[in-house]
A = this chain, B = another copy of it.
């Protein structure tokens, strides 16, 4: 993708010669050491520094701000968009305290309100810089006048929110609807005859993203239980949330706790911590494979030839399981499949597993037959029985893997966990242990009296 990106930049994106884009400044700041970045920020005019700090891609912002003189850091924080300023302060931890203390009570009050919500909730993503007008009696012309006076100080104006005297959200009116309307008409008459889509401050960012996407909104209002307007979540923050969610899911799927910083900025020890936990859990569960093998030790000693196919059979089970898991996790996340659909999924995965296992069984049996006939390897006089064992084992394990892999996300969701934590390695471990038992049970059934 980066290759495409560079090509895209070279071909489609022709930046103006004299104006450095904010996005490029941020790239430079991110690439520099924290000390260098602080130097660069100090030399920038406030407006540019604020613009750079406002970008979520400037992930080193909390560390860099901590290096700036207090008065400058405080001024920059005051001028940043409030939702981003709250995120940066939250990431600064104790370093934020002197800045918070130096802020004017006004700014500090609204930042405190934002800091109260978790970063991955609507409350943590929202900005309080929306445009609102009284619902009763306001004309379109007055609304447009109001927008003109506040436009510069608001992060984004896509819609105007109509409030009653108590601050309760009555309706939303989009900018383009305002422009097209008769200036003398009442703005409340432009609102469609339905209540606006809203979220609570505690609503999860994934749900917010889903609502914005499904209703093609540019911003969604955040209201409290009494429908008082608290703030808005804008589409640009939702884009960033979707990308963060994507990263988190990919890392969970790979069996890593989500990193808080970009890969190269994550400290060595913190990186080890994020990985060692899951790796050890998987290792401890995988130890059951050694126990399973020990259980079948006498069979192993009598027929060492069986061990040759253990890695092959185990990995096929793991692969079919991770296929099923990745399909179902996304189908659940997108709402294409619901909890109650588990039996429909099971009814599809059972025959799918049988067919996929059958395909691999044919390939596996062909491989053994070929090697035996061509003299590449001698599996002994009972080689057709061994081929049959491997074939039957593959069918059993791939079917079991598909079923396990598809059902685990349902189980996790039912228990209240994120189904994405049913990461592929977890399924693989589950399937490995049971797969060995399936394989040896089939071997006993087929080979008992001959090899075993």
Contact = CB atoms under 8 A, between A and B. Distances in A.
Interface in A252-267: 253-256, 259, 262-265
A1 B334 CA distance: 9
Contacts of A315: 282, 286, 289, 314, 318, 425, 428-429, 432
8 contacts: A1-B332, A3-B339, A4-B203, A8-B204, A235-B235, A242-B246, A304-B304, A310-B310
Nearest to A362: B280
A300 interface: yes
A151 B316 CA distance: 56
A40 interface: no
A272 B242 CA distance: 30
- Which of A176, A178, A282, A332 gathers the greatest number of chain B CB atoms within 10 Å? A176
* Interface SS of A by simple majority: helix
A180 B198 contact: no
* Ranked 9 nearest A-B pairs via Cβ: A254-B326, A16-B194, A289-B311, A262-B336, A263-B331, A12-B200, A19-B194, A8-B207, A12-B199
Given A180-B147, A282-B319, A363-B284, A308 B290 contact: yes
Given A8-B200, A268-B348, 9 more contacts: A1-B206, A4-B207, A5-B210, A8-B207, A15-B197, A216-B236, A246-B246, A253-B424, A290-B311
Nearest to A177: B151
A280 B363 contact: yes
Contacts of A80: none
Contacts of A328: 263
A275 B316 CA distance: 12
Interface in A376-416: 377, 398, 413, 416
Interface stretch (A42-50, A70-78, A352-360, A440-448): A352-360
A406 to B, nearest CB: 9
Interface in A135-149: 144, 147-148
A329 interface: yes
A271 to B, nearest CB: 6
Given A11-B200, A247-B330, A280 B359 contact: yes
Given A297-B304, A297-B308, A326-B253, A243 B290 contact: no
Contact of A253 (B158, B250, B290, B432): B250
A57 interface: yes
A318 B330 CA distance: 23
A78 B13 CA distance: 32
A202 to B, nearest CB: 8
A337 B311 CA distance: 34
A204 B175 CA distance: 30
